[in-house]
Amino acid sequence: MKTLPALLLAASLYAQSGQNVAGTEVHVLPVQGNVFMLLGAGGNTTLQAGKDGALVVDTQFAELAPKIVAEIRKLTERPIIWMVNTHVHPDHTGGNEALSKPYGPGPGQTPRIIAHENVLNRMTQTGPNQPEIPAGMWPNDEYGTAQKDIFFNGEAVVIYHMPRAHTDGDSIVFFRKSDVVSTGDIFTPGTWPVIDLARGGSVQGTIDALNAILKLTVPARYQDGGTLVIPGHGRLCDESDVVEYRDMLTIVRDRVQDLIRKGMTLEQVKEARPARDYETEYTGVPGRWTRDQFIEAVFKSLSEARK
């Protein structure tokens, strides 16, 4: 019974599906090489477009699909061949079905939707208090290995599994020739890290994943640009921005760990405000994720690891 609130919370994280997104404008930002970034109402969408067709990383909400496709069509007339879900949350998977059917390879064919197998498991094994997720939204090309490679539009696209990070089914997508990494919600600059414990996330896994991203990034001259990073939410970034975020999460982890060692309870840790020097820089997700929930997730994740 104690886990019910956590499950409900997890179900609501970023779960804006069904909200009125009619007035939402979709902004397209050319990133570099074949890659574009689409900002709308959900998580950021990454588009890789070329003669082979379109590859879409994260699909935002079903309601936004027409607008997203309208923007994709300005860049390529080719069908969507591949889709990748970086994790299970509906603001990243909500448009799977809506984008698949009308804009896929052709009649009777749908794009391949790649995701880690834990995404499929989470979608197909919803809890008793969670709504069922239609089969058309499920990944149909799941993987269970450390990485999955495809070659598309003239470049290697490497999909890495990041274990127990934001959730237990996180993937990051590295476009090797374009030199762009799409991170999903492992990296959300300006927003308190959402660590979805109920779906297998952990603070250490998130830090490990951020450090893994930093191993892929190489800055260009003046430490700007080079490998560009499309976060799950927020603006286009590069290595320095990931470093700032990694530092914040590492420092907060160390502080909470220190307070746990001193025997403080969760309430005492929250009262100590171990992230107070980041409170003017980071915000929550209105109505869904707060600073205290972030601190609680760090506390519980570290406490669990000590057992």
User: Contact with other proteins (CB under 8 A): which of 149, 247, 267, 304?
Assistant: 247
235 binds other proteins (CB under 8 A): yes
Q: How far is the CB of 234 from other proteins (least distance, A)?
A: 8
Stretch that binds other proteins, among 3-11, 100-108, 161-169, 236-244 (CB under 8 A): 236-244
Q: How far is the CB of 114 from other proteins (least distance, A)?
A: 26
Which residues are 285's β-sheet partners?
A: 289
228 binds other proteins (CB under 8 A): yes
User: Contact with other proteins (CB under 8 A): which of 241, 270, 289, 293?
Assistant: 241
φ/ψ of residue 227, rounded to 5: -70, 125
Stretch that binds other proteins, among 3-11, 77-85, 134-142, 277-285 (CB under 8 A): 277-285
Between CA 176 and CA 164 the distance in angstroms is 24
305 binds other proteins (CB under 8 A): no
Of 236, 238, 164, the closest CA to residue 207 belongs to: 164
Between CA 156 and CA 1 the distance in angstroms is 46
Interface with other proteins: number of residues (CB under 8 A) = 38
Residues of this chain that bind other proteins (CB under 8 A): 27, 29, 39, 207-208, 211, 214, 219, 221-225, 228, 234-241, 243-244, 246-247, 250-251, 254-255, 258, 274, 276-281
